[in-house]
């Protein structure tokens, strides 16, 4: 369950990165649709956070330690909203680039989460 969610979030994050990268390429700021996309990815990360904590509460142990696991879950959840707010402050193509970078960072975090949980 968690692995499937990790994969889904990672893929969604990369799609978001590509989408915002495309906007940046066309010299556009992030628009409403991009923010809906960010919301979808953030909800995925939130669901992942909740399910991760439920798994911990049920007594399952991440391979590389509970603290690191929770820290990465929190980081993954905060990643896209933080980038989103920054793109609100910067209404140029560079706001789009920032969200695209956020998507890539989230994808990297998901890969790490997969390792930490122990595949």
Partner 1 sequence: MTSGADEMEATRTRLISGPGILLVWLYGVMVVGAVSRSVYQIATEFDRAPLAYSLSAVAGVVYGFITYTLVRGGETARKAALVCCAAELAGVLIVGTWTLLEPSAFPDATVWSKYGMGYVFIPVLLPVSALYWLRKARTEQQVD
| Contact residues: partner 1, CB under 8 A | 67-68, 71, 75, 79, 82-83, 86-87, 89-90, 92, 94-95, 97-98, 101-102, 105, 108
CB of 9 or CB of 30, closer to partner 1 = 30
- Our CB check for partner 1 shows the closer of 58 and 96 to be 96
Residue 31 near residue 56, CB atoms below 8 Å: no
Q: State residue 60 phi and psi, 5-degree precision.
A: -80, 145
Q: To the nearest whole angstrom, how small is the minimum distance from the Cβ of residue 52 to partner 1?
A: 17
Least Å from the CB of residue 50 to partner 1: 21
Task: Collect all residues with Cβ–Cβ distance below 8 Å to 85 and sequence separation of at least 6.
Answer: none
DSSP letter, residue 92? S
Structure tokens at 83: 């980038």
């Amino acid at each position: 369950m968690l692995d499937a969610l990790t994969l889904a979030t990672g893929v969604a994050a990369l799609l978001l990165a590509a989408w915002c990268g495309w906007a940046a390429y066309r010299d556009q700021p992030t628009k409403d649709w991009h923010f809906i996309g960010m919301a979808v990815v953030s909800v995925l990360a939130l669901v992942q956070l909740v399910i991760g904590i439920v798994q911990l509460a049920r007594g399952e142990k991440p391979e590389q330690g509970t603290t690191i696991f929770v820290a990465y879950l929190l980081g993954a959840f905060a990643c896209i909203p933080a980038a989103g707010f920054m793109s609100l402050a910067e209404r140029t193509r560079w706001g789009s680039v920032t969200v695209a970078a956020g998507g890539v960072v989230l994808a990297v975090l998901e890969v790490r989460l997969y390792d930490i949980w122990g595949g």
